[in-house]
Structure formats: C-alpha cells, structure tokens
Amino acid sequence: MTQQPSRPESRLRVWYRPMRSRDSGEHHRVATPLELLFDLCFVVAVGQAGASLHHALAEGHAAHGVSSFAMVFFAIWWGWLNFSWFASAFDTDDVPYRLATLVQIAGGLTVAAAVSSAFEGDFRLMVVGYVLMRLAMVFQWLRAARSDPRCRPTALRYAAGISVVQVLWVSYQWLPQGVRVVAFVVFAVLEMAVPIWAERRHGTTWHPHHIAERYGLFTLIVLGEVILGATNAIKEGAAEPGHTGALVSLAAAGLVLVFSMWWLYFDRPGHARLVRRPTMFTSMSWGYGHYLIFASIAAVGAGLEVAVAYDTGTLHLGGVAAALPTTIPVAVFLLSVWLLHIGPTNECRPIAIGFPVTAVLVLAASFTPAPIHVAAVLTAALVALTVVATHGEPQPA
C-alpha cells in the first residue's frame, strides 16, 4: 500500500491539523503521554472486573462470574483496542483529537463504575459508557474521512458500522432476560466484524512497532493490577493468625508466576509476527487474540485472591474449586502466548511443545491432594520451568 511521508512538523503543538494517515514505517514511533493516560484509566475497569470475578468465585457462582467477567472484559478490551489501532494510524495530537480521546476515557471510567452492577445483571450504565466510547470513535473516523481522501471509503465504513452496532447495544436493555447472553455474543461478533469489513479493500497504515508497544504496555499494567490485588489479599489474610507459612508460600508463588508470565510474553518481540506476515489475517488474529491474554492475566489475580481466602479459612469451597480459578487462566495464558507470539509449527521442539504441555500440567496441578498453596507453588514452578526451557531459543521463521 502507498505510504504517506512522515511529517516532522506535525508534532508541533497546534489547535488543529488535517487527520491524514501516518507513515507505518515512521522512525522513533512510541506511545504518547495521552495513550499512557488512556491505559491507566482503562486498567481501573480491569481492576474492577477482576475484583467482581473474585467475589463471584468466592460465593460459589463460578458460571455466572466467568460469563459476566467475559462480557464486561469485552467492553473494556474492545474500547481500548479500537483506540489503539486508530491512534497508530491517525494520531494528530491536536485539540479535537485530544478532546475526543478524553471523551473515550470518560466512557471507559463509566464502564469501570458499572462493573459491579453489570455482574448483578444491570447493564444500563455499562451500555452508556460503552456507547460513549464508541460514538467518540465515530467522530474520529468521520474526521479521517474528511481529511484523507485515500482512506475515506475505509473510514466511512468504520463510522457506519460502529454506529449501527451502537443502536443494537442501546436496544440491549429491552431484550428479554433469557436471550441477552446470545444477543451479547451476536452484537460482539458484529463489533469485531466491522474492522474486517471496513479494511477489506484498503487497510489503515498502523505502525507494527507502535502497536506491539501499546499491547506490551497494557500487558504490563494488567500484570501490575494482578500484583496489587494479590498483595491486598495477602495483607488481609495476614490479619488472620496461624496462616503465615501458607501465605508466604502463596506470595512467593504469585510473584514467581507473574514474573514468569512477564518473561514469556516479552521474551520474543511482539512486532515480529506483524512485520514478518503483514496480512489482514495476521493483524486481526494477533490483535483480537490478545483478548485471551489480557483477560487471563486479569483472571489470575482473582484466582490468587481466591487461593488466599481458601488458605485462611474464609472461603468455603473444595480444594479443586479453589485452585482452578488460578490454574485455568494460567493455562489459557500459556496457550494464547504460544499461538500468538510463537506458533505451534515452530521448528524448535522445546517451544513447539513446551507451552501446551505446561498448560496441561498446570491444570493437572489443580487436582493434587496437597494444600492449595502447594498447588500454587507447583503451578509457578511449572511456568518458571517453561521460561528456562524456552528462553534463548531461535526465533520462529
């Protein structure tokens, strides 16, 4: 595709500049302070989703908690994803762009405030925040359509597709309770189909290194949220006498687990696949597949909190039921990183089979008769062993 030349003067502080496609090969393209603020505000919603999942699991409502978490996390993730890819291709950093982004942040914070009520089945405030984010994106796409004739058809398809789906989301509250889950899945699929439809003839000029950095930064922030949640849980558990040994084991296992997850995700450059295979399928599968990575990381934090509550005697669940909230997300994380960053056909055998084998062993650790803190230590050890076995292996072709 034809690229627009880089515009050094466009980085000057001005009130307004035409919104034209940026150069996908632009040098020194890094995340902006506004993008970092966007991430920090959205991780508030991630923290709320993780806390609500923990409460649902602790009360024995696993199916409801997981389904509600998946729905809420989609709203958070999809708002973040759309902003990130649009910014990579069209960020002008002028006043209208900044104001529209701040409106999106306000929508994200509204979503965060609505997480608890959404877990109780009331999605009204959630829909308000979500639609606010998405209508701000419509404004951005219409700006791009007006300023960049080359991308006008793509931008107009984006604006039209997003607008139509928002009408469906507004109607969500009037649907019968029995069909809402099915409707949510259908509406979510339609949301994800909009970029595929919009870019089918002419793709946007997103920057692979910039996109990989944006995803990496959000991964870091979500990992930090896991550490915060687990630390608070252990702090509360320490107030209960007689559980010091178990809590120390859980704390150590949690840290090793988070450190290992960080290592596995960042051990190979995130942009490698985007640069090596710059097709729509690669970008879409890589970008969409991160839903599983982000959601599984956030769920690990909730699982560790459940483990702390179980070991301190404040949670009345069986050992397996208390262990699975940690081991299932870890297994999902391993398989997702394996598929998105490495690839199952990699010629290096330790990488090609190490991740899925570890995922199976991690799940098996849930069924050990040992105390849950021992299962947590075993899980962390398995993931750390994967780091050792796969670190420094050749990059996939």
> So what's the pLDDT on residue 10?
47
Which tokens sit at 20?
Answer: 């034209």
Residues 175 and 267 in one domain: no
Cα separation of 383 and 40, whole Å?
28
CA nearest neighbour of 258 among 326, 156, 164: 326
Shared-domain flag, residues 165 and 213: no
**How far is residue 175 from each of residues 67, 171, 261, 265, measured CA to CA in Å?**
18, 7, 40, 40
Q: 316 and 266 share a domain?
A: yes
Beta carbons of 190 and 256 less than 8 angstroms apart: no
Give the whole-angstrom CA distance, residue 243 versus residue 26: 55
Which residue reads 């700006």 in tokens?
A: 143
Q: Which of 163, 198, 233 is the last residue of a domain?
A: 198
What's the average pLDDT block by block, 10 residues per block, for the chain (397 residues)? Answer: 44 76 86 95 94 91 94 96 95 94 97 96 95 97 94 96 96 90 96 94 88 94 90 76 77 92 86 68 87 96 89 78 92 92 58 81 88 87 89 53
Q: What is the pLDDT of residue 393?
A: 54
The type of residue at 95 is: V
Q: How far is CA 205 from CA 95, 272, 361, in A?
A: 22, 17, 41
pLDDT for 242 equals 65
> Are 377 and 253 within 8 A, CB to CB?
yes
Please indicate, yes or no, if residue 18 is contained in any of the structural domains: no
Same domain, 265 and 185: no
Do 325 and 272 lie in one domain? The reply is yes
Please state the separation of Cα 125 from the chain's center in Å.
21
Tell me, yes or no, whether 345 and 240 share the same domain. Answer: yes
At which of 198, 222, 240 does a domain end?
198
Q: Dihedrals φ, ψ of 303, to 5°?
A: -65, -40
- With contact defined as beta carbons under 8 Å apart, do 140 and 97 qualify? yes
pLDDT at residue number 396: 46
Spatial CA neighbour of 216 closest among 275, 286, 282 = 286
Do 135 and 241 lie in a common domain? no
Smallest Cα–Cα separation from 160: which of 190, 132, 182?
Answer: 190
Q: Which domain holds residue 139?
A: 32-198
**pTM exceeds cut of 0.75:** yes
Which residue type does 385 have?
Answer: L
How many CB atoms lie under 10 A from the CB of residue 5?
Answer: 9
The tokens describing 83, both together, are 């902003």
371 and 246 within one domain: yes
Instruction: Note whether residue 353 is domain-resident.
Output: yes
**Domain count across the chain:** 2
Amino acid, res. 285:
S
- Residue 384 sits in the same domain as residue 238: yes
- Asked if residue 370 lies in contact with residue 249, where contact means CB atoms within 8 angstroms, the answer is no
| pLDDT given at position 9 | 46
Residues 135 and 162: their CA atoms lie apart, in Å, by 8
Angle between helices 33-58 and 95-113 (to 10 degrees): 10
Give the CATH number of the domain where residue 288 resides: 1.20.1410
Residue 139 buriedness (CB in 10 A; 0-12 / 13-18 / 19+): middle
- For the record, the structure tokens of 372 come out as 């849950």
Q: Is residue 187 part of a domain?
A: yes
Residue 8, domain member (yes or no): no
* 381 and 276 belong to one structural domain: yes
**pLDDT score of 49:** 95
Asked if residue 24 is part of any domain, the answer here is no
Asked whether residue 15 is assigned to any structural domain, the reply reads no
| Type of residue at 88 | S
Mapped onto helix, strand or coil, the DSSP state of residue 84 is helix
Residue positions counted in the chain: 397
Whether 220 and 345 share a structural domain: yes
Say if residues 97 and 91 touch (Cβ distance below 8 Å): yes
Residue 313 lies in a domain: yes
Q: Which two tokens stand for residue 282?
A: 């690669």
> Exposure pattern of 272-306 as b/e (b: 16+ CB <10 Å)?
ebbeeeeeeeebeebbbebbbbbbbbbbbbbbbbb
Question: Using CA atoms, how far apart are residues 38 and 104, in angstroms rounded to an integer?
Answer: 8
Residues 135 and 89 in one domain: yes
Residue-wise DSSP of 139-196: HHHHHHHHH-GGGHHHHHHHHHHHHHHHHHHHHGGGS-GGGHHHHHHHHHHHHHHHHH
Q: Which of 145, 169, 198 is the last residue of a domain?
A: 198
Q: Is residue 346 part of a domain?
A: yes
